Amino acid sequence: MKKKTIALCGLAAVAGLSLASCGTDTTGLDIYINYQGASGITYQGASAFTNTIEEKTYTTGVLLPTWQAFSDNLNIKFRDASGYTTDADNDTYNLVQSKGYVSDTDAKQKIDLFYNTTANINKMGNAGDAVNLVDHLDEMPNFKAFLEANPTIRKTLEQSGAIYYTPYFDGYNDIERMFVMDTQIAEKVIDTTDLNQFDTGTTNGGSNPSKNVVQSGSYQPYMGDNNYRADAIGTDGKVEVSVVGTDGKATKAKLNVVENIIKQQNALLANGCTGKQLAEQFQKYLKDVYGDLVGDGKLYSKYSEVFTSISAIYTPDDLIALMRVVKANPKLITGDGTKEIETFFPRGQANNRVDNIADMLQLWGIQGMVSEKEMLYFSADGKLRDAATTQATYDGLEYLKAIYKEGLILDKFWDKPASTSGTAYLDKYFKKTTNDAEYGFMMYDYAAATTASNDMVDGVGTDPTSRKIPYSSKGIMPILPPLAYWNTGVNQDSTLKATLVRHADENRTLKSNSWCIPTTSDNIADAIKLMDYMFSEEGARIQDFGPEQYWEDDLKVIAGEESPVLNEKTRQMLAESGKDFWTFMRENIGSTHGIGCERSKALDVQATNSYGQIGLNNLKTAIAVGVVNSSLVDKVIGTNTWDTSVPTAGYPSISADNQAKYAGLTAFWSSDKCSDKPAGWVMWISQDCDDTTVLGTDANKASYTMATVKEQMSIKNEIYLYQYAKSIGDSAIPSELQPTN
């Protein structure tokens, strides 16, 4: 398909909408965007940059291509009001606010658009220093239509009915993080038919047999005695599931029902076994269940695609079984039987990376762990719930405890050494750029950050010849989530109904930065026009991908949406710059800044390493065609469904006295677990604990136990959950918390 010719002014940029009238170019528009002191609307590089597409050399202060296109299309002259004298948003705000919202280099230059955190912008609005956009919505047809289509976002933006900024989304209603696998390892242990290549040594699973999976079978079947529960089995004795077919569209596939592989493995482990025996058993299981779908012209060309392809249809038990087989066969994978494969690990040594281990709970259909708003989620009855006070969450912790005991999670994943690194484990296990580099199998993280590890095959990072498994068509990439039981409905007795579904629970929503119009602006009309332009099709595409000359001639369908694709010349400039994708786009093209706009789902795919793109596009396509369900903002307008994302703002304040009443529960789940010793949920899954074991100290400096946590669940619900639910609406209040007057 060819690129659409999009009118610059006066014609529809989005179906049914028109752009604001063309600019008058009276006083010009003074824009203050300062991203980390390094980028904004003009080139800020220390040395000149030659743009081969435009055959133009950019020096400091020259308007970047994206902003030149905006200027040309809207007939508005832009002036850079930033002196790039600060590198942190709060410092920028304090500087600009103290000067009365003028340029930090020219006191006569009044700022018309100011970029900062939304918290600071709301502070400006509440002080009367930012323009209320609600008063100008009739001049903003594109943004007005967005608000009408997304009432929850509008409610989140509003401060006493006023809106001071247009929202920024780095992928609106888009999956944010995902499970990422070294698919070459999966191929090695699943598709190797010569069983003599597998491990037969007495240390099966590596050089640390006390943590060795083949020494124990702590994890018990999630699906039951068989690979699928009885409610999923049809009258023909098979299970029918939705998959992405060979034509890229949704279709159905039927699977055979056999004894659960975890049950089979546990019986084998109880008597002692080798890595070879585990692999042989697992390969037979895959043939028994999926064999009818493998072969020329069929859904899968090889068995590893059950896990790694766009048509993946594995279960949580299948995945844990695969992790066991990987763990038990280090010689096959690394060439050294004394090594230990790290089957699941966080990115590095930081609190949010420790949290990623708890994010694994979604493997077993647990909601709320990846919520954008603390641990809140909507249950299938439309009520607001808190994963911290939901029993299913604690049941899920038992699965984590079991696989940690088996050595399937990085030992001491919470460890905080004297010198920490936020990428320590990514570098060690995926990038292999450290002196103690080893092999790792899976993470839960962002696609672009993790799959950049594949770049070493193109000469970045460790020499690829040091890798025992050479890259082929795949590498380190995202995979589809497993088929698990999620509470998607309500039974006649008002209990929640679990359904077998693939669901991506983590949804990108409102980010915490944007831009606003200071009330001191002397060109509010053009500022309004540019703000609205970002919510038109043309404006959004240029903001993401730069002007049209940076695109290929044809638009392509990526992640289910029609999108520009950066052309070869643009990519060549990116490669020669030595910068990562986002830095290059911001600093050299002027795109992808976190101003009020909605970033394309397809841009995230293009920002990802070519190997990683395979998996990311697989996942987003599976979501687009309805095979994988995903959480969305305003999934059903006016109704809070089980897969509706919880709003991120608009809640009442909880007093310190009330927060103190459930401080132990808060401490159990608080994001402060990167430490020299385990605490809270980390201690619960990694140590031998009971209800009376002290798990840490809360904000009141009081010790708490699991008994404390259980006691405080109802207290937190009565205070926190009730107030938060009521702020959303009475229909969101759980029935057990409704007033009885």
Q: Output 602 or 443, whichever has higher pLDDT.
A: 443
Q: Which of 361, 346, 280, 281 is nearest to 316 (CA)?
A: 361
Strand order in the sheet with 178-182: 342-344, 440-445, 178-182, 476-478
At 6, the pLDDT band (50, 70, 90 cuts) reads very low
Range of 146-160, 558-572, 663-677 with top mean pLDDT: 663-677
Question: Given this model, what pLDDT does residue 213 score?
Answer: 79
Give the residue from 126, 116, 46 showing the smallest Cα distance to 82. Answer: 116
Instruction: Determine the pLDDT at residue 262.
Output: 98
Whether the predicted pLDDT of 294 surpasses 90: yes
Give mean pLDDT, residues 256-274.
94
**Is the pLDDT assigned to residue 24 strictly greater than 50?**
no
**Rounded to an integer, what distance in angstroms lies between the CA atom of residue 68 and that of residue 78?**
8
Instruction: Answer with the residue of higher pLDDT: 609 or 695.
Output: 695
CB 373 within 8 A of CB 446: no
* 722 close to 383: Cβ distance less than 8 angstroms: no
- For the chain, the helix, strand and coil percentages under 3-state DSSP, each to the nearest 5: 40, 15, 45
Burial of 497 (C-beta count, 10 Å sphere; 0-12/13-18/19+)? middle
pLDDT-wise least confident of 65-79, 125-139, 444-458: 444-458
- Cβ contact 148:275 at 8 Å: no
Res 464 pLDDT > 70: no
- pLDDT averaged over the chain? 90
Q: What's residue 474's pLDDT?
A: 65
* Residue found by looking up tokens 């203050």 in the block: 32
What local confidence, expressed as pLDDT, does residue 237 receive? 95
Bigger pLDDT: 360 or 211? 360
**Average pLDDT in the 645-650 region?**
86
Taking 60 as the threshold, does the pLDDT of residue 17 lie above it?
Answer: no
Report the amino acid identity of residue 182.
Answer: D
Q: Is it the case that residue 36 has pLDDT exceeding 90?
A: yes
Q: What is the structure's pLDDT at 208? A: 67
Q: Are 32 and 113 in contact (CB under 8 A)?
A: yes
In whole angstroms, give the CA distance from residue 156 to residue 150.
10
Secondary structure element (H or E) that encloses residue 682, with its range: helix 680-686
Section 491-501 average pLDDT:
93
What pLDDT score does 739 carry? 66
Confidence grade of residue 121 (pLDDT, cut at 50, 70, 90)? very high
pLDDT at 209: 66
pLDDT band at 5; cut points 50, 70, 90: very low
Q: How far apart are CA 596 and CA 172, in angstroms?
A: 12
Owner of token pair 């708003």: 373
Q: What is the DSSP letter of 373?
A: S
460 pLDDT higher than 70: no
Cα–Cα dist 243/250, whole Å: 6
Q: How confident is the model at residue 457, as a pLDDT?
A: 46
pLDDT tops 60 at residue 3: no
C-alpha 409 chain-centroid distance = 20
Identify the CA nearest to 739 among candidates 178, 541, 730: 730
- 70 pLDDT exceeds 50? yes
Q: What percent of the chain has pLDDT over 90?
A: 76
From CA 546, how far away is CA 542, in angstroms rounded?
4
Residue with tokens 């987003």: 620
Give bridge partners of residue 178 from the DSSP assignment.
445
Q: What are phi and psi of 492, to 5 degrees?
A: -60, -25
Distances (CA, A) of 40 to 113, 590, 594: 12, 7, 11
Which of the residue ranges 264-273, 463-472, 503-512, 578-587 would you say has the lowest mean pLDDT?
463-472
Q: Report the pLDDT value the prediction gives residue 207, as an integer from 0 to 100.
A: 67
Which of 578-587, 605-614, 677-686 reaches the highest mean pLDDT?
Answer: 677-686
CA distances from 248 to 304, 335, 372, 404 (A): 19, 37, 31, 37
227: buried, middle or exposed (CB in 10 Å: 19+, 13-18, 0-12)? buried
Q: What confidence tier does 612 reach under pLDDT thresholds 50, 70, 90?
A: confident
pLDDT one-digit tens code per residue, 228-246: 999 999 999 999 999 999 9
Asked if residue 412 has pLDDT above 80, the reply is yes
What is the model's pLDDT at position 120? 96
List helix spans (H) across 510-567: 524-533, 537-545
pLDDT for residue 22: 42
pLDDT for the residue 606: 86
Say which range, 167-171, 471-475, 661-665, has the weakest mean pLDDT: 471-475
Query: What is the arithmetic mean of pLDDT over 49-61?
Result: 96
What's the confidence (pLDDT) of residue 741?
44
* CA-based radius of gyration for the chain: 27
